[in-house]
Structure 1
């Protein structure tokens, strides 16, 4: 075991302190196994080549529409392991000792603020790019407990950084679910909206460009590193965790496999298809962008759409409603989502031009199911712009007008002040920030000034103060409550079907009695309409 590798170090207060820090993360037992497998029996240290091999990735089986980015990433991943080991794990002539191994893990995966994680990620990215021959203009000023980032990045370099983070997340999830049996061979997602979001937040307000048809790999704009740093922490705060998750999964799931002869990190030749996921509004890239803004069980559920498997049923198991398959309209929608009491993600694809020139996609995440009410409801939620530019607007906490969903009233003949029929998010009744009519034909987007529930920000590029009305093309609803919420909904639907069948049953004995039949009553009334009849009570 690594803990007994050096009795002198075992008595060291410094070692006890480092072990205590690592133990607080719950990873100490697995790291002891990893050190035992990787370390040399004579030197009691991990040879550098063995540790670097743990973080090597084979990029050959990845496919991407970004040809230039793919070639650069393929070269960079050959230097990734070296950059990680040199940055996190100091070594001597024998290799990496047990205490240095724990220090490196604590530096990358220990409990700290998000800005520190992000600084580590940027430094690894800069070091890997330099070793691969693609130097970036990033400077780092080290302090005792902090690091200041300076310089700038081009949009294509931001794209490269984000794709690396997606691969980190994909690898971490795959290793965790398959316990070290890595499955590779999938397509890199389109994350251009995320890159354009960084561009939009970093450039001056007077330099706003046309984001509809922008090719991020060809944009020649210097984005200040400090602004990128702030954008990442505010818009996609979970991005900073990608590197820590990757290092943790590589040491705790890949290295500790039972078969020591299979400790090579080369990938398998499996090729899970993501075609079914890419045909929906919630593509891998959009799902991953949303996952970078949420935590907990919702993150686990949406990750199924981020990294699709080769089983189409598994990829779409959380899909509750799709207008192109289930039919447009509030009634069709309600028959699919009623009874689901869990987090829901609604996506709307629309455009002001009926020919779909310049279409956009917005979304809303709620922490509960939809209810048929005449008032707003909800506790927390977020609004998203998913295309062409990503934007995340969480609830501000000032008001609770998060969700509005109202069907046609039943059993009411006349209402002097009828409530709007449709689905809405934010704003107030009659002045909603997002409102979609009951036919799912039109959606109205209003300026954030009408809304105190969600954070300020534009949902559409170049959105002005006037309301924007657009034609709805597609609507999707994804359930993110897991198997429990889906099981409760299934029980609810079975119960409702049973009640419906019972109401449809006909009492044949009464129906066969001529004296009690409606036909006899009608004939008697027609033959003598003025006859006095006693009212039965």
Structure 2
């Protein structure tokens, strides 16, 4: 008495549970449309769109060709031609297995299973293998450096396919220019250093993926999983995003037109900046907020040059030039810096180029104290690392320059740009001229997590020469428009302050200034005041 229908029909209750779980990823009407029209040919539905990549890894195109059939065979059981309730439930279970939210290690395990099976189908070497009878999707084995590079390139291509897809039947046979894959060597090196396969020393400069294959040093599946969770947690969602993008594309309305192709050619101009597509993709996999989509788009089509607030090679060096470009921008920003260590350094190899970056979630302010609410540090080259806030202190950033109203200070605060640490012992400090940068060991900093920003950094401060500095605004058009309004208002105020009202002054001949000037020019001349 009073029993619910779910008790009488467990299959219906299970179907509702699976539908509720699937609706969190894609709308149920879209899933039903995909099931009714494409369930009999899911390998084709999930297949990678036609594309040619420039200088891909070995077996890369065969790997992408095997992607759709591999996903269909691992997660979606064959369905009958009639759309029965059992087939619909099996379809939902397969979709939820690869797309529903789960703990961090499970999506990555599914991705490695797909990669291992696709490599087997494409005849590509793969050192990892999965245990089909294990419910947790445990993956065992070892990944060689070239295999890590192929896996990362495959994941980027899966993200690219979601941005560059056209509706089915809409000029799919048109010939397109080759797509340039981003450079993932800093990510591969980061995984090897994290696992201890490569020492964090002078050997990282000049390191090459192809040359590392002869060393025979790889990363175990468990070590690779640990590195992904700590450094690039967004990598595990690549499979879920790819399946959802494929389902959306097969139900796109061709009447509404073709989406703009995001393909980039071999003459990609975006990599002339410090924010290359490879670094933008690495940051998109690291951040856990809405900025991830911004960096993912930048990795596919390049960053919009209108978002470039400051570049030292174009706008000039110095804190005043920097401030004239970023003043009034009240939004998140990415600061990238390229430098090389000076000759004669004891703790860093001389004449080696490296790059670091800082992501802040608020605008720049001219203060003599630290400020900020959140941000993170990262090493961009030659090793990619991410250092999140520790939560202990809030010395996120420091920006101090002289203003027009100068006052006497017994202990003047340093002029420059800094991040982390404390005044006098900053984690990163850029001097007023933007010619030198000082990077200190993490022992002086309680704001950001521990970790070195430069290979073989050591405990002593590292003073290096700056090559270039870039600042990218990430607040969108609204924030940029607010900055333009602010600058226009400041220009009006500056013009009013420079304007001199001559009528407010008296006659020059009767002024005390005129008398003083005459005395200086001829002090022996008698001056008589008429009363």
Indicate the TM-score class for this superposition, using the shorter chain for normalisation: 0.7 to 0.9
Q: Tell me, what secondary structure is at the counterpart of 1:111?
A: coil
Gaps of 5+ in 1: 1-8, 39-45
Provide closer, same or farther for how the CA distance between residues 459 and 337 of structure 1 changes in structure 2, counting only shifts above 3 A. Answer: same
- Aligned mate of 2:334, from 327, 345, 360: 345
Match of 1:497 among 443, 468, 491: 491
Take 2:495 and 2:488, find their aligned partners in 1: how far apart are those partners? Answer: 11
Is residue 298 of structure 2 the alignment partner of residue 305 of structure 1? Answer: yes
Instruction: Identify the residue that residue 17 of structure 1 maps to in structure 2.
Output: 17
Out of 400, 410, 415, which is 1:406 matched to?
400
1:162 and 1:89 map into 2 onto residues whose CA distance is 24
CA distance in 2, matches of 1:452, 1:514: 62
Number of the residue aligned with 1:51: 42
Q: Is 2:108 the partner of 1:118?
A: yes
Are 2:258 and 1:258 aligned?
no
What is the aligned partner in structure 2 of residue 29 from structure 1? 29
Deviation, 1:113, is 1.7
SS across alignment from 2:65? helix
Q: Superposition pairs for residues 388-537 of structure 1, below 5 Å?
A: 388-510=382-504, 513-514=507-508, 520-523=514-517
TM-score norm. by structure 2 comes to 0.87
Q: Within 5 Å, which residues of 2 pair with 1:100-139?
A: 100-139=90-129
- Could you tell me which runs of 5 or more consecutive residues in structure 2 were left unpaired when the two chains were aligned: 1-8, 344-348
Q: Could you say if the C-alpha distance between residues 145 and 60 of structure 1 is closer, same or farther in structure 2, counting changes exceeding 3 Å?
A: closer
Q: How does 1:247-326 map to 2 (within 5 A)?
A: 247-252=243-248, 254-259=249-254, 275-308=268-301, 315-326=304-315
CA contact (8 A) 1:91 1:100 kept: no
Q: Does 1:367 align with 2:346?
A: no
Structure 2 equivalent of residue 163 of structure 1: 153
Cα distance change of structure 1 residues 332 and 21 upon mapping to structure 2, 3 Å threshold: same
Measured after TM superposition, the shift of residue 185 of structure 1 is 4.0
Cα deviation for residue 59 of structure 1 reads 6.1
Could you tell which deviates more after superposition, 25-34 or 117-126? 25-34
SS at match of 1:476: strand
Would you say the 8 A contact 2:75–2:94 is kept in 1? yes
Q: CA deviation at 1:412?
A: 3.0
Supply the distance in 1 between the matched residues of 2:169 and 2:526 (Cα, whole angstroms): 83
Name the SS of the counterpart of 1:147 in structure 2: coil
Offset of residue 520 of structure 1: 3.5
Change (3 A) 1:272 1:375: same
Q: 1:176 to 1:107 in 2, by over 3 A?
A: farther
Contact map agreement 1:186 1:274 (CA 8 A) in 2: no
Correspondence 1:83 to 2:70: yes
- Return the offset for 1:171: 1.8
Deviation at 1:130, TM superposition (A): 0.8
Matched, 1:74 2:61: yes
Aligned residues: 506
Secondary structure (helix, strand or coil) at the match of 2:66 reads helix
Aligned-residue CA RMSD (Å)? 3.4
1:122, distance to aligned residue in structure 2 (A): 0.6
1:153 aligns with 2:143: yes
Question: Partners of 1:486 and 1:108 in 2: how far apart?
Answer: 39
**SS in structure 1 opposite 2:101?**
coil
Assess if the C-alpha contact under 8 Å between 1:374 and 1:405 holds in 2: yes
Change (3 A) 1:387 1:533: farther
Report how far residue 357 of structure 1 moved: 3.9
